């Protein structure tokens, strides 16, 4: 049990570039997908599909897809940032602002940044990953009596976590890329990968081996800050 908890605690988003010359072995890919296969899904609907991409020509085509800066993301992201490790350790939620470009850290210049930023390409997001997983959502497999298919969304999160923990156990870098579910990117990916129109892209994953060892300050709230014992407001388990 301690090994499982340690694996969970070590799991992290690998935001650094990967080595394009170090491919992920098929045997390891199969283990990662097998872990996703056994994820719990609402009513066992198994509402997902996975497109595995390691063909360099296909990766190049995907990397050329243009995408822009999301003003909504930058504005809401700013509220979650800490600008020093000391601040992050005090908040115990959110992430360090140093993970983002310096121009994103000054709200007074945000309008100028958005106005002057040219479209970028997915190359900058993929960052030399030798393997991508495109996780698809099949809305036809909707969990019953679930408004907005909230339970179906939970299921996709379970698939994500299972695959992430297996990748961590195998020493393979793993990073979720939500930009792949954006309307324009999704349209282009469906064209390139021949994905049926009824399928939706939930998220994508970049897999690979980091060129440098990622080091992030990772924080979590204390258990007593969110655990209520027998009644709400009775904090902790003591």
| Single pTM value for the model | 0.91
Give residue-wise pLDDT tens across range 182-227. Answer: 999 999 999 999 999 999 999 999 999 999 988 888 899 999 999 9
- Are 227 and 236 contacting, i.e. CB atoms less than 8 angstroms apart? yes
Look at residue 188 in the predicted model and tell me its pLDDT. 97
Residue 8 pLDDT > 80, yes or no?
A: yes
Reading the block at residue 144, the tokens are: 């019953």
pLDDT band at 1; cut points 50, 70, 90: low
Give residue-wise pLDDT tens across range 38-97. Answer: 999 999 999 999 999 999 999 999 999 998 777 777 777 777 888 888 999 999 998 888
| Residue with the larger pLDDT of the pair 233 and 72 | 233
Residue with tokens 């310096």: 102
Structural domains of the chain, with CATH:
2-66+121-214 (3.40.109.10), 69-118 (no CATH)
DSSP bridge pairs for 200: 137
d(CA 108, CA 30): 47
Give residue-wise pLDDT tens across range 136-159. Answer: 999 999 999 999 999 999 999 999
Q: Mean pLDDT, to the nearest integer, of 100-120?
A: 73
Q: How many CA atoms lie within 13 A of 128 on its CB side?
A: 14
Q: Which residues contact 41 (CB under 8 A, 6 or more apart)?
A: 47, 48, 152, 155, 158, 159
């Amino acid at each position: 049990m301690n090994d499982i908890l340690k694996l969970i605690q070590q799991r992290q988003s690998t935001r650094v570039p990967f080595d394009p010359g170090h491919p992920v072995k098929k045997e390891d890919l199969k283990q990662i997908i097998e872990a996703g296969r056994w994820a719990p899904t609402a009513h066992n609907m198994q509402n997902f599909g996975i497109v595995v991409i390691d063909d360099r020509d296909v990766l190049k085509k995907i990397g050329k897809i243009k995408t822009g800066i999301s003003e909504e993301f930058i504005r809401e992201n700013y509220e979650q940032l800490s600008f020093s490790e000391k601040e992050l350790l005090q908040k115990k939620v959110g992430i360090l602002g140093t993970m983002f470009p310096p121009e994103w850290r000054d709200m007074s210049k945000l309008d100028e940044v958005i106005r002057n930023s040219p479209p970028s390409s997915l190359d900058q997001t993929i960052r030399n990953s030798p393997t991508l997983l495109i996780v698809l959502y099949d809305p036809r497999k909707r969990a019953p009596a679930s408004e907005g298919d909230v339970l179906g969304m939970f299921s996709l999160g379970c698939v994500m976590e299972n695959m992430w923990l297996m990748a961590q156990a195998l020493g393979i870098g793993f990073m979720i890329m939500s930009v792949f579910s954006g309307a324009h990117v999704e349209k282009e990916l469906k064209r390139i990968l021949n994905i049926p129109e009824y399928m939706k892209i939930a998220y994508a994953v970049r897999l690979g081996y980091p060129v440098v060892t990622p080091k992030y300050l990772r924080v979590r709230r204390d258990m007593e800050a969110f655990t209520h014992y027998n009644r709400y407001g009775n904090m902790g388990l003591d």
